[in-house]
Amino acid sequence: MHGIQLTIPTLQDFGPIIDAEIHSNEQAFLNLKNLHSDIAYSSVKLLIDTGSNISGLDKRIIENLQLRQYMEGASVDGVGGIHQLKLFRGILYLPIFQERALPFDVVEGDYSNSPYDGIIGRDVLKYCSFVYDGWSNTFKLVAVDI
């Protein structure tokens, strides 16, 4: 298991945020990592949200990368009840994945007023071990089964 342990001064203010890359598809990710091509991707900051069953990204990132939209949307239970949101397919790369990436589905959101660009939900966290230590102001994220 390979992981990252971070000490972040703003952990109590904003929560566990990790740097990540979002790629439009598997081929774009492989071309960048293996051939060092200049295919567009987005470097993002994602909040680890153990309360969310699905991950989300800011709509500007989804538009910039032209992520593929599913015909069917997603029903998300959140503040104010059930919301129907657009659902997209992307490729997530976290440093803990080393040379691998994870295809994942994301719902579109507006994170323009947040210190992060989206959230990592339990759909991604099922491939990780996440430990939050509020007392020491740290969290640890380790990849498992990937």
Condensed to tens digits (0 to 9), the pLDDT of residues 3-13 reads 554 445 455 66
Q: Full-prediction pTM beyond 0.85? A: no
The yes-or-no verdict on residue 52 having pLDDT over 80 is yes
* Domain range annotation of the chain: 2-143
Mean pLDDT, all residues of the chain: 84
CA geometry: angle 126, 93, 69, nearest 5 deg: 85
Say if residue 119's pLDDT is above 90.
yes
Q: For the chain, what percent of residues have pLDDT higher than 70?
A: 86
Local confidence band at 90 (pLDDT 50, 70, 90 cut-offs): very high
> What is the Cα Rg of the chain in Å?
15
Percentage of residues in the chain having pLDDT higher than 90: 42
Q: Please give the Cα distance from 64 to 6 (Å, whole number).
A: 29
Residue 48's pLDDT band, with cuts at 50, 70 and 90, is: very high
CATH class of the domain comprising 2-143: mainly beta
